[in-house]
Structure 1
Amino acid sequence: MSILNSIDVAAKYIREGKLVAFPTETVYGLGANALDPMAVAKIFELKERPSFDPLIVHIASIHQLQDLVLNTDERVHKLTEKFWPGPLTMVLPKSNIVPDIVTSGLPTVGIRMPSNEIALDLIRISDCPIAAPSANKFGRISPTTAAHVRKQIPNVDYIIEGGKTTVGIESTIIKLTDKGFQILRNGIITQEELETVVPFDGETAIEKLSAPGMLKSHYSPRKKLLIADSSSLDLDKSKAGLISFSGEVENGFCKVIRVSDRKDLKDYAVNMFEAMHSFEDDNEIELIIAEPVCETGVGRAIMDRLRKAEFNWRQA
């Protein structure tokens, strides 16, 4: 593994079929040439990711979108004009050049254009679309710094150091239907924002596992994590860390990380995974408690991540 400051060198390795971890505005991605099935297979192997979980393809131009999908209608153009580059992934019918391994055999592919300049430059200089899930072991905490990548997948070929990500949670994923759009994964771009462009379809059944992040368990630390409620707040706090938002339930905890000084949900999203990593690495902490928020706007995405992070721990 090497940490590179040269995007030119990183792009060379992408073209050679190797894996490069790189920053986006959401989380760090583990990238490979999306048109090279053997390179994409290495992503699944290194992440220990099940083959039924499709990947997102990252592009740097609308021209690439037209190559990767069968057709785009006016709604797609309106959404790209408003939200791209940015943390929005659209699931669209794929063209034949997209290998089936990228889409887990589905006839659709998730595509987004990131706003992070390092990511865009890497795609442009590599001269290919880049398939990239989060740069971590499958099901574990998403990486928002290069250090998080090194901790979980130290044997990745190369890491581009790009500082801390600015959004902190994965992109919103949508799929268009005859009635409008469905949300397959909540993110920083909210339903309300999307509805200013396309109607929301709350009626059409959502296909299972048609996009990343749809499993019940995901984003999980190695230490027990629970969402704060009457039962979890009654547990012994002497070796517990609190991910705090309101500042109202901090008494008695061994350590507290407050994710926002101004009770801003976007701050929570930016700092949530970093707080999980911090407590996971802290030898004094045996239990992580995360404060819940109202499920409006960005709060939907936050609670989605917290529920999936605690899922296996709640079942234990």
Structure 2
Amino acid sequence: MQQFMSTPQAAARHLHQGGLVVMPTETVYGLAANAGDAAAVAQVFAAKGRPVFDPLIVHIADAAAAWRVAVPNPQAEALAAAFWPGPLTLVLPRRPGVIADLVNSGLDTVAVRCPQHPLALELLRLSDLPLAAPSANLFGRISPTTIEHVADQFAEHGALLLDGGPCRVGIESTVLTWIPHPVILRPGGISAEALAPYLGGPPPVLVKPPQGAIVAPGLLASHYAPRKSLHWIPENQPWPAGAQWGVLAFGSDAPPLYPQVGGVGAVENLSPESDLVAAASRLFAAMRRLDAGPAQQLIARPLPAHGLGVAINDRLRRAAGLG
């Protein structure tokens, strides 16, 4: 991995030459390419094994850069002023001729956001490019929240790596659109409660995506999945016992370890203090540890369904194939 580590200056040049860069954000690590270069964007889809009907988020340095890619409405402008840089993605009408059609799967909308990470912002400013950047993992698998999670996955595609440390938020951005009223397509790092003052109330989370083309990432029923099976059980159902189980727990709701009575093979407690912000930041790393450990099957129950708990539950349901 070390030979692919880079600097923002070298990474910016690499992007202008049609290359790929793994960049840190506050949510997860992204696999970035020049959004205006169709060949570079095609490399992103190929490297991830991502279907071309699943659009990418375009990362930009600030709101002014976003409005060169997308056409805002007054609510979008207010949200950008309040939450950018930050984990909020807005799906808006696209401006023609700025980004490659492959970025947004040929749709007339585009997803844009400004990331809240100093290395990502430096790369965006140095390159002066809009960057298409899905999570830097193989399609459908657990998202990476450290550079070690990415390792050499994209070495054969010549991707340079920027190490920005562990991702602070740890789950992907909230995706919001207007159809015609504001709705959350994907819960994420900004809660519906936080958005409410700018939208006349909390926007609903769209349980079932609109008919037709997928308009934003993270909407497939199976996503964020470990290699082992993950089971999603009701919150009032007891944990199963046995060494074969790896449990994702929260708060005081954690079973003992095997061979104690009622014990399981492994436990990852997302937050013993019942802190949803901490749980979100630890989610994907905890899933990876259980996936690499001795437990044969993974199991999780719903977290409190408010704040970031809504986004965590969304990721766990999709990891279990129940999105």
TM-score (norm 1): 0.92
The separation in 1 between residues aligned to 2:222 and 2:126, in whole angstroms, is 36
Q: What SS is found at the alignment partner of 1:197? A: helix
Structure 2 counterpart SS, 1:196: helix
Shift of 1:68: 0.6
Q: Closer, same or farther in 2 for the Cα pair 1:232/1:13, shift >3 Å?
A: farther
- 2:169 corresponds in structure 1 to 167
CA-based RMSD: 2.1
Tell me the secondary structure at the aligned position of residue 221 of structure 2.
Answer: coil
AA matched with 1:301: A
| Aligned mate of 2:313, from 295, 303, 308 | 303
The residue correspondences of 1:43-58 to structure 2 (distance < 5 A) are: 43-58=44-59
Query: Would you say the 8 A contact 1:232–1:289 is kept in 2?
Result: no
**Contact 1:54–1:212 (CA under 8 A) maintained in structure 2:** yes
AA partner of residue 252 (structure 2) = G
Cα deviation for residue 63 of structure 1 reads 2.4
**Range with greater deviation from structure 2 (125-134 or 142-151):** 142-151
CA deviation profile, 1:246-282 (whole Å, cap 9, x unmatched): 2323120222221113111111111010011111122
Alpha-carbon deviations, 1:45-97, whole Å to 9, x = none?
Answer: 0000001000000000222112112x322212211111000000000100111
SS in structure 1 at match of 2:302: coil
User: 1:80 maps to which residue?
Assistant: 80
Show the counterpart of 2:226: 221
* Map of 2:193 onto structure 1: 192
What do the CA deviations read for 1:218-252 (whole angstroms, capped 9, x no partner)? 00000111124477833x52132222212323120
CA contact (8 A) 1:177 1:201 kept: no
1:294 corresponding residue in structure 2: 304
Residue 58 of structure 2 aligns to a residue whose secondary structure is strand
Counting only pairs closer than 5 Å after superposition, residues 42-191 of structure 1 correspond to structure 2 as 42-69=43-70, 71-96=71-96, 97-150=98-151, 152-156=153-157, 157-179=159-181, 181-191=182-192
The separation in 2 between residues aligned to 1:202 and 1:254, in whole angstroms, is 38
**Structure 1 residues 40 and 107, CA gap change in structure 2 (3 angstroms):** same
1:275 counterpart residue number: 286
**Aligned-partner SS, 1:78:** helix
Q: Is the 8 A contact 2:176 2:186 kept in 1?
A: yes
Q: Which letter maps to 2:210? A: E
Confirm or deny that 1:6 pairs with 2:7.
Answer: yes
SS of residue in 2 equivalent to 1:226: strand
* Distance apart, 1:297 and its partner CA: 1.9
Aligned length: 309
Q: 1:288 Cα deviation (Å)?
A: 1.4
Q: Which residue of 2 aligns with 1:207?
A: 210
Instruction: Determine helix, strand or coil for the equivalent of 1:288.
Output: strand
Q: Distance in 1 between matches of 2:297 and 2:58?
A: 36
Classify the secondary structure of the residue corresponding to 2:72. Answer: coil
For the residue of structure 1 that corresponds to 2:110, the secondary structure is: strand
Please state how far the C-alpha of 1:201 moved relative to its aligned partner: 5.4
Distance 1:222 1:231 in 2: 24
CA contact (8 A) 1:221 1:276 kept: yes
Is 1:233 aligned to 2:247, yes or no?
no
State the Cα deviation string for residues 276-313 of structure 1 (Å, max 9, x = none): 1111122x22111223212222111111000000117x
Q: CA deviation at 1:177?
A: 4.0
Structure 1's 202 and 86: CA in aligned 2 closer, same or farther, altered over 3 A?
Answer: closer
Amino acid in the other structure paired with 2:160 = Y
* Consecutive unaligned residues in structure 1, runs of 5 or more: none
Distance 1:232 1:276, change over 3 A: farther
Unaligned 5+ residue runs, structure 2? 257-262
Counterpart in the other structure of 2:250: 245
User: What amino acid is the match of 2:8?
Assistant: I
Residue 225 of structure 1 aligns to which amino acid in structure 2?
L
